[in-house]
Amino acid sequence: MAETHEFSAQNLFSVKGFVAVVTGGGTGIGLMATQALAANGAKVYITGRRMEALENAAKEHQPTGGEGQIIPAGPCDVTKKKDLLHLAEEVGRKEKAIHLLVCNAGVAGPKAEPENTDAESLRSRLWDNEDVDDWQKTYQTNVTAVYFTTVAFLPLLQAAMVPKGQHEPYTASVVTISSMSGIMRHAQGHFSYNAAKGATVHLTKLMSAEFQKAGIRVNSIAPGYFPSEMTAKESDERQKSHVREEKIQEKGHVPLERPGREIEMGMSVLYLAKNQYVNGEIIAVDGGVLNVLAGR
């Protein structure tokens, strides 16, 4: 039975001694996850295609004090198996195991609002503004890459497992970053993105069921509107993005009338990293949007 002191926030959410890998860790939600983990004691390897962004993020947001650390690794294009294998080998040369993998890298894909009611006009708008190659690239980054990134790190994840009877049992964890867009029926003009994120959601459930046999948990965070390069279209000199509250209020379907706060994403990452009893779950962190827009 747990004593009261064991329920302290420091005890519940400390990831001291953890090793984590975060794809797309230099900006947006990936950087939020990285900061939360490093601030609570984890050594976090961040990767992405832009080495300059990774190095700048590590320099600007390195935790002060404690044992946490942010380490740039790469560059790595998650859509290329050779890059993923090289990344896993690079981390494996430095670490015996990793406790957490955050599959965050993603792209927005093409956009075409289905606002016409006349079928000819509707077809023209969607047909002329979207391309098969763009759909394929969106799926490749948001779904296929999530699968192969996870597979590349399976041995290092399993190496973190603590069997029953040896201290406190532990299973390593994968957190995929899907989206509320993969759960709702509103296309938002992003048919390819929403369809891909829907596939990310189901892929998470498939990997959860299959990889638990290897002692690895898989869950997903489905974010709403958070400040990132995808939503704000840019980052500042510290790799941070900003979304005005007015922009969110204009959408008319966000009950909290603001974007998600970075620390709210950090809380979610720490919860899934530490709670051993959660597996195969899709946690929407969306400010109540799915209470307004129809989900599944």
Q: Is the pLDDT of residue 222 over 70?
A: yes
**E strand or H helix at 284, and its extent?**
strand 282-285
Whole-number Å distance between alpha carbons of 192 and 294: 18
Catalytic-role residue among 173, 178, 241, 268: 178
Catalytic-role residue among 139, 193, 220, 241: 193
Is 205 annotated in the active site? Answer: no
Reference 111, options 189, 42, 54; nearest CA is 189
Residue 246: which residues within 8 A CB-CB, separation 6 or more? Answer: none
Domain presence at residue 160 = yes
pLDDT, average across residues 118-136: 92
Q: What is the pLDDT of residue 173?
A: 96
Region of residue 52 (phi > 0: left; psi between -120 and 50: alpha; otherwise: beta): alpha
Domain presence at residue 131 = yes
Find the domain containing 181 and state its range: 13-291
For residue range 179-190, list pLDDT tens digits in order.
999 999 988 888
Domain presence at residue 159 = yes
pLDDT, average across residues 241-266: 94
For residue range 6-23, list pLDDT tens digits in order.
999 999 999 999 999 999
Is 197 annotated in the active site? Answer: yes
Q: Is the pLDDT of residue 295 over 80?
A: no
Please state the pTM of the whole predicted model. 0.94
* Domain tally, the chain: 1
Q: Is the pLDDT of residue 218 over 80?
A: yes
Least confident of 114-118, 136-140, 263-267: 114-118
Is 111 annotated in the active site? Answer: no
Catalytic-role residue among 43, 179, 192, 197: 197
For the chain, the average pLDDT equals 93
- Residue 275: pLDDT band (50, 70, 90) is very high
Domain presence at residue 230 = yes
Domain presence at residue 3 = no
Domain presence at residue 2 = no
Q: What is the pLDDT of residue 167?
A: 63
Domain presence at residue 4 = no
Whole-number Å distance between alpha carbons of 29 and 219: 16
CATH number at residue 78: 3.40.50.720
**Strands of 108-215, DSSP E:** 172-177
Reference 105, options 132, 134, 70, 76; nearest CA is 76
Q: What is the pLDDT of residue 106?
A: 92
Start-end of H helices in 212-294: 229-232, 245-249, 262-274
Q: Is the pLDDT of residue 163 over 80?
A: no
